[in-house]
Structure 1
Amino acid sequence: MTSKPFSLRTRLNEFARVELAHLPTRLEAMPRLQAEIGGPALWIKRDDATGLSTGGNKARKLAFLLAEALGQGADCLVTVGAAQSNHVRQTAAAAARAGLDCFAVLEDRGVSDSLAYKSNGNYLLDRLHGAQITRLEPGADGKVAMAELVERLRGKGRKPYAVPGGGSNPVGSLGYVECARELVQQCRDIGIAPREIVVASGSAGTQAGLLTGLRALGDMTPVLGIGVRAPRAVQEARVFDLAVATADLLGCPGSVARDDVVVDDTHIGAGYGLATETGLEAISLFARREAQLLDPVYSGKAAAGLIHHCRAGRYATTDHVIFLHTGGTAGLFGYCDLFGGEMGLS
């Protein structure tokens, strides 16, 4: 008997999911930004517009993670992130949608002591969605604290489901395998062959899932991750390991080669969550040229990387480059103190 050819759509449909996001997200041209900075034709994949609590990339991951949690009979979600975590905000929203409790462990990573950072933005939305928040002291290990919280909840008779930071495990990464399939079809429909896809690379699930999905489809479009936290070698290893595990879960092992994983770590600045001048410039340019809102932590730094490479001549003027917008708009309100004279704002 001959085996059936691998079908990504069929394989993805074998995994349970909960419909959380407004899909497909749009693929839009950015002609005014292109005219401003020069270089290739620029496109933006609007994963900031997934609809779950102001949108963002975590909605795709949580569709699969929440389905697994419900399948296991969970009565609450437990997760971890920074004080202005986009992931925690959307996890709290997903829990609220499903009628589950959400317990969130928030790390103090020394980003800011401002009132806005500690009480507004994503943190405000966490509370509005009903998340029960544990705030850690500086230097405390969030993963350890989350594991301890899970055990305490089990000891009380609860049925917690632990959602990893960023939703980035093989199950969560399926969300960006699905995004890859969606994006390939959109490019075919409008008749473009992208030279590269540029995306923020943090907890690794978005880049890993995207690469896995593209390669499973036989699409060799490069994906450039713009690192927001870890050095290049560390981040590339993290992305590759997760891509390998995701491909194994899908049943297409070996789809992603080590050379497929490329991360640019030169736009991190002083550290995770700490704004950079180039990131603030990118936020301003995207807002004023294309009415697109970025954040200083992820999408702003990724956009700074995109702008840098366009100006540096990485791409030909005949190329098409896609910026995958992972969201983060809510986080702007936690960083409102940054947007002053240096951007010409009052």
Structure 2
Amino acid sequence: MFDRFPRLALLDRPTPIQPLPRLSAALGEALNGVRLFVKRDDLAAVGGGGNKLRKLEFLLGAARAEGADMVVTVGALQSNHARLTAAAAAREGFACELFLTKSVPRTDVAYTGNGNRFLDDLFGARVHELPGDADSLSAAEARAGVLRAQGRRVYVFPSGGSSPVGCLGYAACAAEILAQSTAMGEDFTRILVANGSAGTHAGLAAGLFAMGHDPKLAKSYAVLATQAQAEAETLSKANATLALLKPGASLSSADIVIDGGHRGPGYGIPTDAMRAAVRLMARSEGVLLDPVYSGKAFGGLLHDVRTGLYQPGDAVLFLMTGGVPGLFAYPGAFAET
């Protein structure tokens, strides 16, 4: 199904699915017999790992197929996608420019110069910083026009790499999860993931449907947009991705399951539930969640388990999307007094 799309190999597949025995023991009776697993898309050799590498396999594959020698993309100042684009571009020999918006109301040096932002420079990307309300994609397209006039062959893609081509990465991941679940003899009740630019959930839903499975197996927790905005964006991107895989097929709003109750005050702003989830995972399993995406999503998962959303014996799979460098931009959020 995916062989007809250009693709560059950026991570070892399949990424492992692991149980969480010590975290489960720490939760005790609150777990209510639910069995927790994580799929470790944070484990990859390129750029510190993370879910954007799956999208970049197809995006950079398309760029190479079109003869591009440069990629340009956008994101927030601490964007995991931007960091991994810079890293993957360096590995594959593309020049890279990033247009990053100051979307989170912080000016401290830990946020503006550490974490992902530090790594963008280390990987050799040219970074353009924009105000938080700037139209970064328009700025990137304008810059691409200038570069093309200079003779560069430029490929531009949006925030999170969440174009239909990029979303193919998580449609392929859906196939990978289904194969792993069969090999494990597990029947996952849910596949849970954070929802920022909507591409990961959209790709999963499109991939599941294209392979004859219920797209509602995938559920996400909105960390960027409101629930209504996230639902609309995810449905749109899922259908655009499905059009590449199975022309004529379509998903409806009932196929997209999103929880918008764990975003907190806004994108990139810490919540108590996020802090608790990050600490619990770190101190029980030695595994790191990031503070912007997976930390909030795993906090949502813990809330759902504790409130009885799942039944005893249910197997719930959490997709670890990476973003660990972002922790180093948030030291103050975890200061204990």
What TM-score range do you get, normalising by the shorter chain? over 0.9
User: Is 1:89 matched with 2:83?
Assistant: yes
> How far apart in 2 are the matches of 1:165 and 1:19?
21
User: Is 1:308 matched with 2:303?
Assistant: yes
1:50: how far off? 2.6
1:257: how far off? 3.4
SS at match of 2:313: coil
1:255: how far off? 5.2
Point out where structure 2 has 5 or more consecutive residues left out of the alignment. Answer: none
> How far apart in 2 are the matches of 1:190 and 1:99?
38
Q: Using a 3 Å threshold, how does the CA distance of structure 1 residues 111 and 48 change in structure 2: closer, same or farther?
A: farther
> How far apart in 2 are the matches of 1:82 and 1:95?
18
SS at match of 2:191: strand
> How far apart in 1 are the matches of 2:44 and 2:172?
14
Following superposition, which runs of at least 4 residues in structure 1 exceed 3 angstroms of deviation?
none
Question: Residue by residue, what CA displacement relative to the aligned partner does 1:46-99 show, whole Å, maximum 9, x if unpaired?
Answer: 011132211000000000000110111111110111111000000001110111
Alignment of structure 1 residues 11-26 onto 2, 5 Å: 11-26=1-16
Q: Which one-letter code corresponds to 1:334 in the other structure?
A: A
1:148: how far off? 1.6
Q: Is this contact kept in 1: 2:115–2:327, CA < 8 A?
A: yes
Aligned to 1:227: 222
User: Is 1:178 matched with 2:172?
Assistant: yes
Q: 1:331 aligns with which of 307, 321, 326?
A: 326
Computed over aligned residues only, the root mean square deviation of the Cα atoms, in angstroms, reads 1.3
Aligned to 1:148: 142
Q: Is this contact kept in 2: 1:222–1:260, CA < 8 A?
A: no
Alignment of structure 1 residues 60-79 onto 2, 5 Å: 60-79=54-73
User: Is 1:244 matched with 2:239?
Assistant: yes
> How far apart in 2 are the matches of 1:241 and 1:262?
14
Q: Using a 3 Å threshold, how does the CA distance of structure 1 residues 138 and 211 change in structure 2: closer, same or farther?
A: closer
Question: Residue by residue, what CA displacement relative to the aligned partner does 1:226-279 show, whole Å, maximum 9, x if unpaired?
Answer: 000111111111111111111111125425332110111111111111111100
Q: Which one-letter code corresponds to 2:273 in the other structure?
A: T
> How far apart in 1 are the matches of 2:170 and 2:83?
19
Q: Is this contact kept in 2: 1:50–1:57, CA < 8 A?
A: no
Q: 1:318 aligns with which of 271, 296, 313?
A: 313
Using the aligned pairs only, state the percent identity: 45
Q: TM-score, normalised by structure 2?
A: 0.96
Question: Residue by residue, what CA displacement relative to the aligned partner does 1:208-234 show, whole Å, maximum 9, x if unpaired?
Answer: 111111122222262111000111111
Question: Residue by residue, what CA displacement relative to the aligned partner does 1:304-345 show, whole Å, maximum 9, x if unpaired?
Answer: 110000001000121000000111101111112222116xxx
User: Is 1:100 matched with 2:94?
Assistant: yes
User: Is 1:34 matched with 2:29?
Assistant: no
> How far apart in 2 are the matches of 1:299 and 1:111?
20
Q: Is this contact kept in 2: 1:47–1:327, CA < 8 A?
A: yes
User: Is 1:298 matched with 2:293?
Assistant: yes
Point out where structure 1 has 5 or more consecutive residues left out of the alignment. Answer: 1-10
